[in-house]
């Protein structure tokens, strides 16, 4: 709280590591809300970004409790407006549209009912279907602001149903004057969405990124583009459609195109003015310089632009027709494209903006169909805008299957700071927090910002409810490690199996085991099956396994919880960096033990990663190994940290790899885990582990009495 207050006072940014389950969310919320109440002019808005939808909803519920407490204690109703914002899929109440299963379909369908020209057509032709909720909202929804209160996603839907307004647009409109907004990272970090949603958020806001240990990857993902042969083929059809539409419109409604031309000549001045007056969050895809100029003449008319796109497309196709791997920087690419097809840098930079304008003019109904061409246009803009921080890798085939041609052009962002820069620049305080941010100093470096506070908190515990153990060898003294050289070793696999088997016999309820990668898990499961280890485990517990298919995994997860719930006990085999490790908590009996098989290093042979490591080394002076270890350890910590959520919770954390004992690995674990690793538990055999675990579990299973007050944060170093 102290650190947070300091951060807010200084109007700077902060990095805070707080152990999970100690009330991170509520601490942040209560202090910032109190601050907002005390200095309503200093901090006008809290933007709370979390990662997953359940996470978002949890935050709002906690906030609701806080507000109830305020009302109870002060006796007055406070006029805070807090709301959650999510995608259309989670907010739509249109009976037809909301029944669609995938987010993209919902977006597309929604667009086809609410686009401005569709609505214009509806005026002249009432049979054209429109969304009545949107119409209603558009007619009256904006006049009166939504009454103050706490609105979770379901509350928004209920409110929308009651009023007959579209909850999605209502929420999007309301975040502008809400005191607290809770939404997902993407609304701030993904330039495509941020531009639509978060552009006008007030500057005097506090932004909190919760569960931010992966924030750099989110940034990178939002700026990277992959182009395959299939994308290009679909682009081709897009371009053809565009051409035909232009032809048709030219015959019927030439005025429209002329109007567009006029607008383009006037340029993007409007946007420029807005940004200078500091109303808009800047969009990294739309660089500042672009705004000051008009769209170049060569792509101003619709036909010219389509011709331009065609040329660009042909060029990309030619580039994909290669037989060896190519890696080049943006300037190299630009030079090449100029030489080959005479495409200048300047028009490329306007590509995204120009395409958007064209699509609007042409009244394209289904935007989703045009995602390939939009993708290409974004690529064009990005590649021509940033000469640094990006790399282009063209791979003619996948590494595993050199015979099957599957050319991919990776345009990958290597600098996460590009995407997050506007956020740091615009908002007065940005707080990055998570249960596992160690080592702290690396985040400011890779995100390129200067925090005023950096702190790692440990927790005071009523009892030592976590028991991290490092298992280094099997009972046969063979070292256990997922090191590349030994990972396929029969003895290692068998020892891993024995460890799981022994644990399955002594740990009650649920065990979660994480593997370093999906392929590795598949192999191990197969060989365990052949050796009969799985059968023996099945005598103790049911086995559920994560698969690459999300739906299947969800089912397995639910069954896993069911099995833990009804006392059978179960084991969930899962993958670090997988969906389960990122988003699911294993509270109480859902995870009495977490076993981390091996150190979850990222696949180091990928060229993209290599390029990124190189970039980090050159730009930020971060050594490759440091970064890799950091990345592996944060994922390991993330995995084992899933088990502890709260004071009464307890869990074993078993690191099954001898390498964890090394200081450089151990030192990168979060403090709150590190301080419980005793020197005696650094290189245990399976038997010793079982003994220690038994002891621990027996102690923990005693009824929890309230001996000491609830834990609070203490400053660690």
Partner 1 sequence: MAALSEEVLLVVKRVRQRKQDGTLYLMTERIAWGPEGKDRFTVSHLYADIRCQKISPDGKSKIQLQLVLHTGESTTFHFANESTALKDRDAAKDLLQQLLPKFKKKANKQLEEKNKMLQEDPVLFQLYKDLVVSQVISAEEFWASRLKLSSVEHSLSNNSKQEVGISAAFLADIRPQTDGCNGLKYNLTSDIIESIFKTYPAVKQKYAENVPHNLTEKEFWTRFFQSHYFHRDRINTGQQDIFSECAKQDEKGLKSMVVQGVKNPMVDLLSLEDKTLDEGYGSLTVGPNSSKTVKENSNSAIIKRFNHHSAMVLAAGLRKVDAPSDQASETSSTDGNSRDSDFFQPPIKKVKLQEAIEYEDLQNGSGPKTIALNLKKSDRYSHGPVPLQSHHYSTSQDIINSVNCIQEEISCYKPCLTRVMPSSAASSAITALSPGGLLMQAGTQQAVSQLVPTDVQSELKHLYTAAGELLRHFWSCFPVNTPFLEEKVVKMRSNLERFQSTKLRPFQEKIQREYLSTNVRLLLLVNL
* Secondary element (H or E) of residue 422: helix 417-426
Nearer to partner 1 by Cβ, of 577 and 659: the residue is 577
Three-state SS sequence of 211-270: CHHHHHHHHHHHHCEEEEHHHHHHHHHHHHHHHHHHHHHHHHCHHHHHHHHHHHHHCCHH
Give the nearest distance from C-beta 179 to partner 1 in angstroms: 20
Q: 54-73: buried (b, 16+ CB within 10 Å) or exposed (e) per residue?
A: ebbbbbbebbbebbeebeee
Question: Rounded distance, CA 329 to CA 393, Å?
Answer: 9
Nearer to partner 1 by Cβ, of 560 and 660: the residue is 560
Nearer to partner 1 by Cβ, of 114 and 553: the residue is 553
Give the nearest distance from C-beta 41 to partner 1 in angstroms: 31
Give the nearest distance from C-beta 262 to partner 1 in angstroms: 31
Give the nearest distance from C-beta 579 to partner 1 in angstroms: 5
Question: Rounded distance, CA 391 to CA 119, Å?
Answer: 42
Nearer to partner 1 by Cβ, of 207 and 302: the residue is 207
Give the nearest distance from C-beta 323 to partner 1 in angstroms: 18
Nearer to partner 1 by Cβ, of 126 and 567: the residue is 567
DSSP string, 123-142: HH-TTS---HHHHHIIIIIT
Structure tokens at 251: 């015959």
Give the nearest distance from C-beta 551 to partner 1 in angstroms: 5
Residues 6+ apart with CB under 8 A from 552: none
* Secondary element (H or E) of residue 382: helix 371-385
Structure tokens at 227: 């182009």
Give the nearest distance from C-beta 336 to partner 1 in angstroms: 22
Nearer to partner 1 by Cβ, of 261 and 704: the residue is 704
* Helices 215-223 + 417-426 axis angle, to 10: 110
Nearer to partner 1 by Cβ, of 104 and 317: the residue is 104
Give the nearest distance from C-beta 486 to partner 1 in angstroms: 20
Question: Rounded distance, CA 533 to CA 551, Å?
Answer: 27
Nearer to partner 1 by Cβ, of 10 and 587: the residue is 587
Question: Rounded distance, CA 245 to CA 159, Å?
Answer: 40
Structure tokens at 440: 């702290």
Give the nearest distance from C-beta 202 to partner 1 in angstroms: 22
* Secondary element (H or E) of residue 113: helix 103-114
Nearer to partner 1 by Cβ, of 262 and 568: the residue is 568
Residues 6+ apart with CB under 8 A from 597: 482, 496, 513, 514, 515, 516, 524, 656, 657
């Amino acid at each position: 709280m102290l650190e947070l207050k300091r951060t807010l006072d200084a109007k700077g940014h902060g990095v805070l590591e707080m152990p999970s389950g100690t009330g991170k969310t509520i601490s942040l919320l209560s202090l910032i809300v109190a601050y907002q109440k005390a200095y309503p002019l200093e901090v006008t808005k809290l933007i709370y970004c979390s990662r997953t939808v359940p996470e978002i909803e949890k935050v709002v519920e906690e906030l609701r409790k806080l507000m109830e407490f305020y009302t109870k204690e002060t006796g007055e109703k406070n006029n805070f407006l807090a709301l959650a914002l999510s995608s259309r899929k989670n907010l739509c109440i249109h009976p037809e549209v909301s029944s669609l299963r995938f987010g993209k379909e919902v977006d597309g369908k929604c667009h086809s009912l609410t686009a401005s020209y569709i609505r214009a057509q509806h005026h002249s032709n009432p049979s054209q279907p429109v969304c009545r909720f949107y119409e209603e909202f558009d007619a009256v929804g904006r006049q009166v602001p939504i009454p103050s209160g706490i609105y979770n996603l379901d509350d928004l839907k209920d409110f929308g149903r009651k009023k007959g307004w579209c909850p999605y647009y209502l929420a999007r409109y309301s975040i502008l004057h809400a005191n607290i907004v809770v939404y997902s990272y993407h609304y701030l970090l993904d330039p495509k969405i941020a531009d639509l949603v978060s552009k006008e958020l007030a500057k005097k806001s506090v932004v909190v990124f919760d569960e931010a240990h992966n924030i750099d990857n989110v940034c990178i993902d939002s700026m990277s583009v992959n182009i395959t042969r299939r994308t290009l083929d679909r682009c081709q059809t897009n371009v053809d459609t565009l051409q035909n539409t232009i032809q048709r419109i030219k015959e019927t409604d030439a005025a429209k195109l002329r109007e567009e031309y006029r607008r383009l000549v006037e340029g993007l001045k409007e946007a420029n003015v807005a940004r200078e007056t500091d109303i808009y969050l800047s969009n990294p895809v739309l660089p500042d310089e672009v705004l000051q100029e008009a769209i170049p003449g060569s792509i101003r008319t619709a036909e010219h632009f389509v011709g331009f796109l065609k040329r660009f497309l042909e060029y990309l196709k030619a580039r994909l027709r290669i037989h060896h791997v190519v890696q080049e920087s943006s300037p190299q690419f630009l030079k090449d494209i100029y030489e080959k097809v005479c495409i200048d840098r300047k028009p490329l930079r306007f590509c995204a903006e120009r395409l958007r304008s064209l699509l609007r003019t042409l009244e394209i109904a289904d935007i989703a169909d045009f995602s390939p061409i939009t993708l290409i246009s974004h690529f064009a803009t990005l590649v021509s805008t940033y000469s640094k921080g990006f790399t282009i890798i063209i791979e003619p085939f996948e590494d595993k299957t050199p015979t099957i041609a599957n050319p991919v052009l990776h345009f990958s962002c290597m600098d996460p700071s590009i995407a997050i820069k506007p956020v740091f620049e615009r908002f007065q305080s940005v707080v990055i927090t998570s249960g596992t941010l160690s080592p702290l100093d690396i985040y400011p470096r890779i995100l390129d910002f200067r925090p005023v506070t950096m702190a790692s908190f440990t927790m005071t515990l009523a009892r030592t409810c976590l028991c991290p153990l490092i298992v280094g060898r099997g009972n046969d003294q063979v070292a256990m490690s997922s090191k590349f050289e030994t990972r396929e070793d029969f003895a290692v696999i068998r020892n891993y199996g024995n460890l799981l088997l022994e644990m399955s016999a002594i740990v009650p309820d649920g065990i979660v085991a994480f593997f370093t990668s999906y392929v590795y898990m598949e192999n191990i499961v197969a060989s365990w099956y052949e050796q009969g280890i799985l059968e023996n485990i099945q005598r103790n517990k049911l086995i559920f396994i994560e698969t690459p298919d999300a739906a299947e995994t969800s089912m397995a997860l639910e069954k896993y919880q069911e099995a833990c719930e009804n006392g059978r006990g179960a084991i969930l085999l899962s993958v670090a960096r997988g969906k389960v490790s990122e988003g699911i908590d294993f509270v109480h009996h859902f995870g009495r033990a977490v076993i981390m098989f091996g150190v979850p290093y990222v696949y180091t042979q990928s060229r993209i990663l290599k390029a990124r490591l190189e970039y980090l080394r050159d730009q930020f002076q971060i050594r490759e190994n440091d970064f890799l270890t950091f990345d592996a350890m944060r994922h390991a910590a993330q995995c084992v940290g899933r088990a502890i959520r709260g004071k009464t919770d307890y869990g074993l954390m078993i690191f099954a790899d001898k390498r964890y004992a090394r200081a450089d690995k151990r030192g990168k674990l979060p403090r709150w885990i590190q301080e419980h690793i005793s020197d005696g538990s650094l290189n245990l055999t399976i038997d010793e582990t079982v003994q220690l675990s038994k002891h621990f579990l027996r102690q923990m299973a005693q009824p929890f009495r309230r001996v000491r007050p609830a834990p609070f944060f203490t400053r660690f170093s």
